[in-house]
Amino acid sequence: MDLALDEARLAAGHDDVPVGAVVLAAGGTVLGVGHNTRERDGDPTAHAEVIALRAAAQAAGSWRLAGATLVVTLEPCTMCAGALVLARVARVVYGAVDDKAGAVGSLWDVVRDRRLNHRPEVIAGVRAEECGELLAVFFAARRRTRTGPGEPDTAAVR
């Protein structure tokens, strides 16, 4: 989770929501890392998990990441939960719960849907307070700098 938190801080450095992710091989080797770059890259799919999964697939030489663990600072959204299921990730470990868009147990539970062909193990709440604090500080700063009506709502996590 240390590496995922470091990645999250990188995202905040370019005004993206501070979420970081790491994909580990079954033996613990880092296969890929990522942080949110939606704002920086103008890409709606540039979530930390997707970026880390892409890097891991490239490093592994396969889109199938069987045995891998995805560690992420925030509960994955539906897009990211779907991606980790499709990549056959063995487990997902996340920090802060996302009550507004979480798809690994909070709002939805995509990864444990019995209709899907793969269901990873879920470990929730790892260093949740620390992960949540990064998000709280980021959004508090954005609320302070809002200039008035017409500005986008920054309350949504992603």
Cα distances from 45 to residues 36, 54, 66, 79, in angstroms, run 9, 12, 22, 8
Q: Which two tokens stand for residue 140?
A: 């508090």
C-alpha 47/C-alpha 38 separation (Å) is 7
Report, as residue numbers or ranges, the catalytic residues. 49
Name the DSSP letter for residue 45.
T
Q: How many CB atoms lie within 10 A of CB 126?
A: 16
Cβ neighbours of residue 42 under 8 Å, at least 6 residues apart? none
